[in-house]
Amino acid sequence: MLCDLNVPWPVNDYETKPTLDQLNTLKLIILTLDELNYTHIAINLTIPQNLKLANNKINVNPIDLKLLNLPRWKGSINDQGHDHDSTGSGSFKNIQKIFKRLTISIEEPSKCSLLSKLNNFNSVFDVISIQPLSEKALLLAVTNLDIDLISFKFDEKLPCFLKHKLICSAIEKGIKFEISYNSLLSDNNYIKRQFFTNTLSLIRSSRSRGLIISSGAKSFLELRSLFDITNLIILLGMNHNDCKLSMTDIPGKVILNGRLRYKSYKQIVTIDEFSNILNNEIEEENNNREDSNLFIKDNDKKRKSYLNNVMEREKKKLKN
């Protein structure tokens, strides 16, 4: 498993539609990742804190893979005779899954109305992350929010000094931190220096634990292979094994954590096989129905009822 969980969606709001050139650029990025042996990628929608939430699933998640006319990915659900998001011909060499990620930029938590509706995104996005722009936002993300990932802007100064106790408390909760290496490839020397400073600070405060490395690439020229990134990050203080885990096992845990939030009961009991936990095609079909509302989930009621019965039976067995 080789992952890139930050492939930016071209637009950052619901009103603007991506142009044909933007979609072609995104498709070229995905095809390049396939050539670089990536197996799991995530399309990342980044929205500001003051954006108003749409009322249904179709508008809440504007990421539509059908617009890209992608090939079938390796081991896709189409191979078993079911419908698939991809409509293109042929198939990927390495890509097995394409996930959808939401990133909310937060500067002032009290002005962010999206936080109260964060749990409603679980059935729409596979990974939920926060981009804190202030110390208050970082503290809120670590202590109170149920998220998978925390990401910083590496082309500017960090919102605050990263303390070891705060960062490690987030890692112990299962929250991971992201390093995006696209800033390093900028022509601006200030942005390059800021990337090195921020990365060193994050590695120091986390003790090289709980980190993932993503591209954040807006062009296929900004993509790099596993070995190129490993050789770079080693120079910043991480060892070879930690660098490899940051692009393989740890991103896999982020995806699994996000999928378990929707596919399980309190991330303890699941009624699906392990191979189906990462499968998001069935939900794509349900989310594309016109009558599906974000706040009305009939399937969730049935699932909770079934899981409650399972828990009651297990309690009776323990008592006996």
Tens of pLDDT, residue by residue over 61-118, are: 778 888 877 776 554 443 333 334 444 445 778 888 888 888 988 888 777 766 666 6
- Residue pair 32/217 in contact (Cβ under 8 Å)? The answer is no
- What region does 81 belong to: left with phi over 0, alpha with psi -120 to 50, or beta? left
307/309 Cα distance (integer angstroms): 5
- Residue pair 180/216 in contact (Cβ under 8 Å)? The answer is yes
Q: In terms of Cα–Cα distance, which of 199, 94, 203 is closest to 153?
A: 199
Q: Which residues contact 214 (CB under 8 A, 6 or more apart)?
A: 3, 4, 5, 6, 178, 179, 180, 181, 251
Q: In terms of Cα–Cα distance, which of 209, 185, 204 is closest to 195?
A: 185
Q: Which residues contact 10 (CB under 8 A, 6 or more apart)?
A: 18, 19, 22, 23, 25, 26
What pLDDT is recorded for position 55? 58
Amino acid identity at 251: P
Q: How many CA atoms lie within 13 A of 249 on its CB side?
A: 7
What pLDDT is recorded for position 16? 80
Pairing mode, if any, of strands 127-132 and 97-106? parallel
Quote the tokens at residue 226.
Answer: 């596993």
Domain ranges of the chain: 3-257
Quote the tokens at residue 67.
Answer: 């617009």
What pLDDT is recorded for position 17? 84
Tens of pLDDT, residue by residue over 28-65, are: 999 999 889 899 999 998 888 777 766 555 567 778 88
What pLDDT is recorded for position 283? 47
Quote the tokens at residue 143.
Answer: 């202590």
- Residue pair 114/104 in contact (Cβ under 8 Å)? The answer is yes
183/61 Cα distance (integer angstroms): 27
Fold of domain 3-257: TIM Barrel (3.20.20)
In the chain, which residues have pLDDT < 70? 53-59, 72-90, 113-122, 262-311, 313-320
pTM of the predicted model as reported, rounded to 2 decimal places: 0.75
